[in-house]
Amino acid sequence: MSPIERIPFTCTLDCGSRCELVAVVEDGRLVRVDTPPREDSPERPRLIPCVRGRAHRALVGARERVGTPLKRNGPRGSGAFTPISWGEALDEIVGRLQNLAARKAHSALLHITGAGSISGRGFSGASASHRFFSFWGPVTVTVGNMSNHCAGIAAQWMLGGQVPASDRATLLDARLILLWGNNPAETHMAPNTAHFIAGARDRGARVILIDPRYTDSAILADEWVPIRPGTDAALVAAMAYVMETEGLVDRAFLETHTLGYGPYREYLLGVRDGQPKAPQWAEAISGVPAETIVRLGREYATVKPACLLPGWGPQRTLYGEQAARAFITLACMSGNVGLRGGGVASVGMRGGPSLPGLPRGPWGPARGLSAVSWAAEVLANRVRPPCEMAYIVASNVINRTPNTLANIAALDRIGYVVVHDPYLTPTALYADLVLPIRTDLERTDLVTSWGHDQHLFYSAQAIAPPDEAQTDYWIFGQLAERLGFGRAYTQGRDEAAWVEVLLAQTRWDRETLKREGLLRWEEQPRVELAEFRADPQRHPLDTLSGRIELANPQAALYGLPIVAEYVPCVPPDGAHYPLQLITPHSEVRSNSCLAANPWLQEVEPQEIWISRVDAEARGISPGDRVEVISPSGTVRIRAKVTERIMPGVVCLPQGAWFRSGADGVDEGGCANVLTSLQTTPTGGIATHTAWVDVRRCAL
């Protein structure tokens, strides 16, 4: 009988959590994925993997897995590739890189990463590739934050920088939780968030979900308040109006801890525009009934502690800055800032423990293109000198950034495309060269946790990769060797040797870490801004005044109001595109990763959510094939006709893979076919501001 090994590992996806996984291996074969049986308590909660992590086994051998280097031998996107050897593939890349270097044209290489494997100390994904190019030369990169750009701007202006939210265990002390555009049961943004919300509810807290959709997080809520996408700042203003006019504002906190409430108060009362921001005003905008708004305002102002917990959806709208600023403003008015079980309603995340990384080379990037709208810059010929080569690592970029068809055109314009990926993603299908990468189960790495969690994970190689798949680190080591800086890049070490070197520089106990798979850094859950609340003079914020600044003159530079006013998003062509589209994260994917997992496809088939009212008006029955049309493109997909979405709003979860039908229409349900390259005033992603129509397919 062969011994069965239980080998700890963790995912390195761009999901928001890190969890405890175990690979059960027999004869070198993965027979099962499990999670360790540990004690579970509020103080030391287990890090239980979600469905995405548990379904790993079906992913390892997925149909779309790449086993050897592939060279394109047909039109882009056709899927026609010839398998080639590693030697041929590496020589081809080296030839391209040497050609650029000889012309001092390093910046003609556009290096794209993001949304794939994002952790690691320099072995996998972006960490390996950025390090490589730091030795090679000054390339062009994509810059900016696709996740929470506008929340970051709000935090910068109002709080003086990213202030991480309180650790999730402190949610147990909340008596009221407003989940605002936040869906932790499906996104798992920060481990155990939904678990602790349920725990608070068990202790008698009330939970309210404010969202255009009755998500699975609504199970944890006492009340669902549907809201039109992009109108959050209007609802906040009306709640604030109720608080202001009924004397429910925490004036003492505003006076000692904030600056700039005056202009916001004038906005609420309509001093300048003659329009009081009363509940009736917000009802017309947001679709939330005035009496509900009155109740929400009173409840949030009077129940203590109350935690306004926004998600990232509201700030991924055309004026997302205003939503993010409004949440912080409202939290200040309620006086919940710095309270255990309360919060400042910022979406900052606390990172994991710090660990040394691998040494980097001398070069920084030559220039940066917007991670959101890089394709627009390429297609408008605004990139000078132009990019001639795209080097894409752990990033299904055509799928994950807005306007997929524009992204495809931009890659075509660039001309030569290399992709590192374990799977033949839609982006890989448009590449000239695809290099097969190992999954998390097939390599060794040190992974730090995130999402307010403080663990270090040792993710051991559990199984051999299929065919010739390699790590990003190995590939770049080989390229570096051929380009003459191999020694600098690898120092003669493989991943396992580097892990020893890195751990030797820390106080972590290596043996325990390797045996258990994880170690914990901190014991006590942290309450954000508690010190600032207790003594703002001794613990000032990093703003000019040291206080929370509710009025931000710098906003005017971007054409935004100086306070958190609601700015309407006007549909470009309401007659043709009457429905608002939201494209939230799905519980079965991490961005577009895992879309190839057949088990997960069964758990949640890709469908467009449409309300019964809107479906009936269009003659659409449940399960009908429909076309979703926007100014950017068309998607053909099945309809989920449901009571769980606000009429006037449709929802296509992002991350399903683009698949071009014979007529060029996407049949994979790729949400970004429908989104636009338009950005927020400060350059943020605005994918939740999209207008579409839906019609029944003829066939």
Partner 1 sequence: MTRNLYVIDLGRCTGCRTCAIACRDRAHGGDGFAWLRVETTEAGQYPHVRVTHRVVHCFHCSQAPCIDACPAEALVRDAWGLVKVIGEHCVRCGACVEACPFGAITLADQGPATKCDGCADELAQGWEPTCVRACPMRALQYVEEQAWALPPRRVMDEAFDGHAAGPAVRYLKRPEG
Considering only residues 131 through 190, tell me which ones interact with partner 1, judged by CB under 8 A. 185-186, 188
Q: Which of 21, 23, 100, 194 binds partner 1 (CB under 8 A)?
A: 194
| Contact between 295 and partner 1 per CB under 8 A | no
Considering only residues 48 through 67, tell me which ones interact with partner 1, judged by CB under 8 A. 48-51, 54-55, 57-58
| Contact between 455 and partner 1 per CB under 8 A | no
Closest CA to 347 of 155, 141, 94: 155
| Contact between 223 and partner 1 per CB under 8 A | yes
| Contact between 27 and partner 1 per CB under 8 A | no
Question: Token pair of 420, please?
Answer: 């590192």
Closest separation in Å from C-beta 50 to partner 1:
6
Closest CA to 420 of 53, 146, 86, 142: 86
| Contact between 587 and partner 1 per CB under 8 A | yes
The DSSP 8-state label assigned to residue 184 in this structure reads H
Closest separation in Å from C-beta 566 to partner 1:
22
Of 221 and 424, the one with the shorter C-beta distance to partner 1 is 221
Of 58 and 366, the one with the shorter C-beta distance to partner 1 is 58
| Contact between 35 and partner 1 per CB under 8 A | yes
**Cα gap 155→297, rounded to integer Å:** 23
**Cα gap 346→362, rounded to integer Å:** 35
- CA distance readout (Å), 255 to 105, 159, 536, 549, 565: 56, 16, 11, 11, 21
Q: Which of 72, 168, 195, 585 binds partner 1 (CB under 8 A)?
A: 195
**Cα gap 365→375, rounded to integer Å:** 18
Stretch that binds partner 1, among 27-35, 251-259, 478-486, 661-669 (CB under 8 A): 27-35
Closest separation in Å from C-beta 668 to partner 1:
22
| Contact between 4 and partner 1 per CB under 8 A | no
Closest separation in Å from C-beta 385 to partner 1:
49
Backbone angles phi, psi at 519, to 5 degrees: -135, 150
Stretch that binds partner 1, among 34-42, 74-82, 336-344, 678-686 (CB under 8 A): 34-42
Question: Token pair of 392, please?
Answer: 């894409």
| Contact between 535 and partner 1 per CB under 8 A | no
Tell me the longest C-alpha to C-alpha distance in the chain.
Answer: 82
Is the CB of residue 293 less than 8 Å from the CB of residue 208? no
Angle, helices 320-334 vs 290-302, to 10°: value is 50
Instruction: Provide Rg for the chain, Cα atoms.
Output: 25
569 C-beta neighbours (distance < 10 Å), count? 19
Closest CA to 350 of 257, 448, 422, 272: 448
**Cα gap 113→131, rounded to integer Å:** 12
Of 485 and 599, the one with the shorter C-beta distance to partner 1 is 599
Of 289 and 386, the one with the shorter C-beta distance to partner 1 is 289
Of 41 and 537, the one with the shorter C-beta distance to partner 1 is 41
273 C-beta neighbours (distance < 10 Å), count? 10
Q: Which of 7, 94, 105, 198 binds partner 1 (CB under 8 A)?
A: 198
Count of chain residues binding partner 1 (CB under 8 A): 48
Q: Which residues bind partner 1 (CB under 8 A)?
A: 32-35, 37, 40, 48-51, 54-55, 57-58, 185-186, 188, 192, 194-195, 198, 201-202, 204, 214, 216-224, 226, 587, 599-600, 603, 611-613, 642-647
